[in-house]
Amino acid sequence: MSRFAVSNPAAQLSGTGQWQPGAGRQRMVMDFKLELADSGAMLERLGQGGTLRGGRGRMSGQLSWAGSPLSLHIPSLEGRISLSLDAGQFLKAGPGAARLLSVLNLQALPRRLLLDFRDLFQEGFAFDNVTGDVNIADGVASTNNLRMRGVQAAVLMEGKADIARETQDLRVLVVPEINAGTASLAYAVINPAVGLGSFLAQMFLRRPLMAASTREFHVQGSWADPKVERVERRFDAPLPDLDPPAAASAPRQ
């Protein structure tokens, strides 16, 4: 097992790596932690400028792939990643590996949003915080708890992205800040173990105003030409009693 550490003013990468040689079964396993002082500057150093502005935080996890440690083999890529970033903005994604960020950029949504929310994503979503966990199996990344919070909206996302084929199949909720704390509340209460469906059923039925302003989308297709479908939901049904009182004790015979 080998340790490694690389640093520059924008980021510090450290971790351990182990190459498992074998006839036809070579595999690289890497545990890593990436401390980010300026995510946009780091991407620019990697030749992916104009993708992200700012963004400080950390990314950590484990990745493994078949073959040489010097050549990332995406179809066999497996692992898990935890992400937490503060104070940044997604910009228009260019070619190369940074196109994966277009999954988070959501620039395909403006034409499906009401005009008063169009400016949220037209030039790239500016965020106060992005958090989430990603699992990767056979080059396909999936998440059920990705959350992005901005001044004007919170975005909750679950689904998967095929890194090799550059395709996606995502469910996205956009909760605008209609009054003080609305989007922040949505950001705080999402439970990764519950998922977005139960979140809608349990939380939005308690708050019809939040439900009425929330937009849900199904995003699929290629990263370069995503297909965005607005998911219509009805929130005008009678609200269920989500916290029923305890049943009275039956009288003793």
Share of the chain above pLDDT 90, in %: 37
Is the pLDDT assigned to residue 153 strictly greater than 70? yes
* Token pair 């949003």: residue: 113
pLDDT of residue 204: 61
Mean pLDDT calculated for residue range 49-54? 86
Q: Give the per-residue pLDDT at 108.
A: 62
Q: Is the pLDDT of residue 38 over 90?
A: yes
Mean pLDDT value across the chain: 78
Q: What is the pLDDT of residues 96-145, one digit of tens each?
A: 445 666 677 766 665 555 444 555 565 677 888 999 999 999 999 999 88
Selection from 56-70, 94-108, 118-132, 168-182 with the highest mean pLDDT: 56-70
Instruction: Check residue 135 and give its pLDDT.
Output: 96
Mean pLDDT for 15-44 is 90
Give the C-alpha separation, 105 to 157, whole Å: 12
Residues 6+ apart with CB under 8 A from 35: 11, 12, 13, 58
Q: What torsion do the CA atoms of 160, 218, 174, 116 make, to the nearest 10 degrees?
A: 140
pLDDT-based confidence at 197, cuts 50/70/90? Answer: confident
CA angle 146, 148, 150 (to 5 degrees): 170
- Burial classification of residue 157, based on how many CB atoms lie within 10 Å of its CB (0-12 exposed, 13-18 middle, 19 or more buried): buried
pLDDT in tens, 232-248: 865 544 433 434 444 44
pLDDT of 3 strictly over 90: yes
pLDDT tens figures, 207-230: 666 667 788 889 899 887 888 888
Domain parsing of the chain, residue ranges:
2-231
